[in-house]
Amino acid sequence: MTNIAILTPCILDGDAVSNDVVGMYRCLSKYGYQAKVFAENWAISAIDVNHVNKVKTFLRKKKDILIYHYSVGWNTGLNLLHELNCKKVIRYHNVTPAEFYEGISTDYTFACKAGQEQLKSITSLHSAIYLSDSEYNAQELNLMGVPQNNSLVIPPFHHVEHLEYLQSDISVIDRYLDDKINVLMVGRIAPNKGHATLIDAFGVYYNTYNKNSRLLIVGKEDERLSIYNNFLHQKVKDLGLQESVVFTGAVSAEALKSYYLVSNIFMTTSEHEGFCVPLVEAMAMKLPIVAYGSTAIPYTVGKAGLVWDKPDPYLLAGSVDCIARDEFVSASLGEMGWRRYKEAFTNEQIETKFIEVIKSLK
C-alpha cells in the first residue's frame, strides 16, 4: 500500500493552512489511503499529528507520496524534500513578503525571508507536482520556472460546510444584531492584512455616510506583532472611532458564524493573500463583499463582489454605502457570492480534484 505523508511546520485550530491539511487527511482516509500528518509543532484536536522526525520511517518506498504544505521557510521540510526518495507534491499557499514585517517582528521577518529564499530551491524539483490554491500562486511558480504541465490549481479545503451547520453564539447575536450597519473583516491581525486602510475606509463611511455603523475586526492578535497591534488601536483612537470599531480577538467557530450572521457587508483591504478563505466564508453566508483587489483576491472573488484595483478609502466607503442603502444590490451581490461558492469552492469539488491528482501519481 502507498503511504502518504502530509507535512507542515505547524498545525493550529482555526488556521487556513491547517484546515487544508486536515481536509486533505480526511479526504485521503475516506478513499482508503494510508495517510498520516507530520509537523514540528501542533495544537489541534481534530486529527492525530506525528512529529516530523518520524517521516523517514513512514515514507520508505519510491511509490510513497510526500505532500509538503509550503508557506514559510523551514529547513527541516526543505531537507526532507531533497533527501526522501519518493513522489512529491508541493502544496503552495504563497509566502508573505518579508517587508511587511520589517521593523515589527524579527521572527516573522526572518521566517518570511527564509521562505522566499527556500522557494528557489523548492521550485527546482521538476519531478514534483505543484498544487497552488489560486491562479495567482500558480503564476508565481510558473515565473520561477515550474513547468505548467506540473502545475495545477486546487482551492484549499476549508470548514465552511461545518460553519453552516453549527449552532450560533447567541451572545454575539444579542450584542451586535441591532439597527447598526455592521461591516465585517475576518483574518488574523497581521501587517499584510491592510487593517490601516480598512479602518480609514470605515472612518470615511462612518463620518460621511452613516454614524449608526460599526466595524467588526475578527482575528487573533499575536503578541509578537505588538507594534502593529498597538498602531491599529492607536489609529482607532486618533480617528475617534473607539465606540464603533470592535477588535474581537480569536473567537470560537460558533461565534465566527454569528459575526457573519449579524453583519451587512464583508470588507477586506488586505495587501497580500495567497487565497483568502474568509472570502469563501462570506460567499457561503451570502454576505456581500467589498475588497481591494490585491494579489489572489480578484481570483477568489471573481465577479461576485465589488473589487477595486486601488485601496482608496473613499471608493471603498462609497461601495459600503451603496450596498447598505440598497437592499436589491445587497441581495444580488450576496446571491452572486453564494453561486460562486457553490460553483467553485465546495469541499466536494475540491475533494474530487485532489483525489484525481493523487490517483495520477500511482
Tell me: the pLDDT tens digits for 41-69?
999 888 999 999 999 999 999 999 999 99
The torsion angles phi and psi of 151, rounded to 5 degrees, stand at -125, 130
In the chain the domains, ranked by start, together with CATH numbers, are 3-158+346-360 (3.40.50.2000), 161-344 (3.40.50.2000)
Query: pLDDT band for position 216 (50/70/90)?
Result: very high
Average pLDDT over residues 113-140: 94
pLDDT of res. 142: 95
d(CA 232, CA 193): 12
Report the alpha-carbon distance of residue 86 to residue 3 in Å, rounded.
10
pLDDT of residue 45: 82
CA distances from 90 to 8, 127, 202 (A): 11, 11, 39
One-letter identity of residue 73:
G
- Percent of the chain residues past pLDDT 90, beyond the cut: 94
- Quote the pLDDT of residue 126: 79
Q: Can you give the pLDDT at residue 164? A: 85
Reported as a pLDDT band with limits 50, 70 and 90, residue 134 is very high
Contact residues for 296 (Cβ-Cβ < 8 A; gap 6+): 94, 134, 135, 136, 137, 273, 274, 275, 276
The chain-wide mean pLDDT, for the chain, equals 96
**Mean pLDDT in residue range 154-158:** 97
| Mean pLDDT calculated for residue range 159-179 | 94
Asked if 4 and 67 touch (Cβ cutoff 8 Å), the reply is: yes
Parallel, antiparallel or unpaired: strands 65-70 and 87-92: parallel
Percent helix, strand and coil across the chain, each to the nearest 5: 50, 20, 30
Cα 160 from Cα 163, distance rounded (Å): 5
Task: Locate 68 and state its grid cell.
Answer: 509538503
Tell me the pLDDT tens digit for each residue of 333-355: 999 999 999 999 999 999 999 99
Residue 362 has what pLDDT? Answer: 73
Instruction: Supply 312's cell numbers.
Output: 482608496
Counts of helices then strands in the chain (DSSP H, E): 15, 15
DSSP characters over 44-110 = -SSS--EEGGGHHHH--STT-EEEEEESS--HHHHHHHHH--SEEEEEE-----GGGTTTT-HHHHH
Least trusted range by pLDDT, from 66-70, 134-138, 163-167, 329-333: 163-167
